[in-house]
Amino acid sequence: MNNKTLLTLVVAASATLIAMPVMASSTEQQHHFPGVFVGFTKAGGETEFSYGFEYEYKFSKQWGAGLVYEKTDEAHHGDGVDVKLAAIYVHPWRDLRIGAGFGKEKVGGHHSHTEDLQRLSLSYDFHVGGFGIAPTLAVDFVGSETATVFGVAFIKAF
């Protein structure tokens, strides 16, 4: 097991342990949190514009799961990259969100290929008039490479 896989598992296990007391006694209403993400991805010395959609289903105040789709059109020297992943989230304090996700990265172009991806993420939701604004930082592990994703998500809960 490589160090990145071990780190991902440790963070996911820690998040689960933090959330367990909440999950055991939660009677709160379930919520949907769709959002639009805009930001940048830095990989291989290049920083490119990224955008996408995210969705979280909160089982309790501190525990959720979701899906992420992101696109970076100019990544890999203009070939473009699509990221699709599933994630678990823990909200250990106020509107702080820690996530661990697993999915695929698809590189386009003449030599298109798909690779496994692991993501660790951190964000904080600021609520304004029924909407959330969430500055986000994520680190993607793809093979032996890492990419840093940073930006903001605009969220509307229902």
Residue ranges and CATH numbers for the domains of the chain are 3-156 (2.40.160.20)
Record the tokens describing residue 70, joined without a space.
Answer: 């992101």
Pairwise CA distance, residues 79 & 25, whole Å: 48
Pairwise CA distance, residues 79 & 107, whole Å: 7
State the pLDDT at residue 30: 55
Give yes or no for a contact between 152 and 137, defined as CB atoms under 8 angstroms apart. no
Whole-prediction pTM value? 0.80
pLDDT tens for the chain, 158 residues: list them. Answer: 555 544 444 444 444 444 444 433 333 465 899 999 999 999 989 999 999 999 999 999 999 999 999 999 999 889 999 999 999 999 999 999 999 999 999 999 888 999 999 999 999 999 887 789 999 999 999 999 999 999 999 999 88
Record the tokens describing residue 138, joined without a space.
Answer: 């994520």
